[in-house]
Chains A and B, each alone.
Chain A
Amino acid sequence: MRYVTVLSCIVLSIAGAGCSWLDDRPAPYTSAPFTAQAHSGSPRLTTARDTLGAAVNDFFWVKSTPKQPIEFPHNTHVEKGLACTEYCHEAVTKGPQAGLPSVNTCLICHAAIATDRPRIQQITQMSEKGIDLSWQRVYGFAPAAHVRFNHAPHIRANVECATCHGDIAHQTVAQRNVDHNMGFCVTCHREKHAPNDCLTCHY
């Protein structure tokens, strides 16, 4: 059914564009030069999606898989007893962002530990050259969601990392284990009697 809907939408929009020569209305007004760029109409496909591809992906619930600069083994580090918030995501207790570790954070331990591994030697070289790791975000909200999430209150309320991030302790590269939709947030907020007003998250 969805395929049929999308196909017919595409066919209709192509047909609509082809009939534009039938439109004898005057051309849309173009404003003064310095404002022209700002108001020459929306550059986006819709208010929520920039391109048709993004809209189709959203419709079919297809999400991009982030490509990380190195294959970081979460499981090894958790097995060795390192807590998520200890060094790597330590900003999580202080503010909105959990933070992603810089290459120098890796070297706090790896200046001495496991220095014979090729991946560690790779990051040591990066640090010497002054290059940092370009981590890609795994989770995050689209701008159109208008969500302002703050990690710190959740940590204070003793919400486990795994509640929202799944079983990362047994994974190597972080995967998107949990779907962060509004139902997921609201259910937990209801159970824990946390504020459930729209303005708690959306502003």
Chain B
Amino acid sequence: MAHRWGMAVDLDRCTGCEACVTACRAENNIPTVGDLQASRGRAIHWIRVERYFEGEFPDVKVNYRPVMCQQCDAAPCEPVCPTYASHHNDEGLNAQVYNRCIGTRYCANACPYNVRFFDFFNPVWEKPMHLQLNPDVSLREVGVMEKCTFCVQRIAAGKDAAAADKREVKDGDIKPACVQGCPSKALVFGDLNDPESEVSRLAESPRGTKLLEDLGTAPKVTYLQGVEHA
């Protein structure tokens, strides 16, 4: 059976350390744009940690929520793309094909989660930073959109390793950079079509919610949060 990749984020475990953000940047060759361009909203971050305050000072509780592309089953970014650069593949991934993208930015405007980013500049890494680039991920040039891919290069590598061993992909074989980097194991990645996988179990959890579920985007990322009884 085809895979259907999904993720679960346990917000009760998330400490807001941003290790996922750092891991993602390193893995996916995400360029930095500098403070000024960031202030103009041109910064690129495939995953971000949103911060919410509860209560009044000094009794403040902080809640964190890592937000990446939700890989929606009914993705609003896909029908608006005139070149099919943004499309759905058989494994449920919301793919972004850089070759096809002509930079209309319709998808970024259609996305309710603000997880699609436009490359306003060609990527430049000052020496010796260029040595840390991941050769498995292409550098996106100026004028295309980019977004979280669920580390598609790691999915490809995981499937390739399984095929080389003549076996199926096991649960936990494939870990996107954010999942691997999470010290509190708040992020779980896996195959939603595999009923035995941990992510399938968590997706069924009564603690689970989807982000902006009412919009009908059918996201494949489940957020888990216990209800606090006052």
- A interface residues (Cβ-Cβ under 8 A, vs B): 31-32, 34-35, 37-39, 42-44, 47-48, 143-146, 148, 150, 152-153, 156, 195, 197-200, 202-203
Q: Do B143 and A199 have beta carbons less than 8 Å apart?
A: no
Contact of A47 among B36, B143, B164 (CB under 8 A): B143
Q: Is B113 an interface residue (CB 8 A)?
A: no
Q: How far is the CA of A44 from the CA of B100 in the complex (A)?
A: 20
B180-209 interface code vs A (CB 8 A; 1 in, 0 out): 000000000000000000000000000000
- From known contacts A47-B143, A146-B138, infer whether A202 and B98 are also in contact, taking CB-CB under 8 Å: yes
Q: Is B124 an interface residue (CB 8 A)?
A: yes
Q: Do A38 and B124 have beta carbons less than 8 Å apart?
A: yes
Sample 13 A-B pairs with CB under 8 A, ordered by A number: A31-B36, A39-B34, A44-B122, A47-B142, A143-B138, A195-B90, A197-B95, A198-B100, A199-B89, A199-B95, A199-B152, A202-B97, A203-B138
- From known contacts A38-B34, A198-B87, infer whether A48 and B97 are also in contact, taking CB-CB under 8 Å: no
Nearest 4 interchain pairs by C-beta: A35-B34, A47-B141, A146-B138, A38-B124
* B98 CB, min distance to chain A CBs, angstroms: 5
* B36 CB, min distance to chain A CBs, angstroms: 5
Consensus secondary structure, chain B interface = loop
- B interface residues (Cβ-Cβ under 8 A, vs A): 32-37, 87, 89-90, 93, 95, 97-100, 121-122, 124, 126, 136-139, 141-143, 149, 152-153, 156, 160, 163-164
Contacts of A198 in B (CB 8 A): 87, 89, 95, 97, 100
- From known contacts A42-B122, A143-B139, infer whether A152 and B160 are also in contact, taking CB-CB under 8 Å: yes
Q: Do B122 and A47 have beta carbons less than 8 Å apart?
A: yes
Q: How far is the CA of A135 from the CA of B97 in the complex (A)?
A: 32
- What would 20 more interface pairs be, CB under 8 Å, given A47-B141, A156-B164, A200-B156? A35-B33, A35-B34, A38-B32, A38-B121, A38-B126, A39-B33, A44-B122, A48-B141, A146-B97, A146-B99, A152-B160, A153-B163, A197-B89, A198-B87, A199-B89, A202-B138, A203-B137, A203-B138, A203-B149, A203-B152
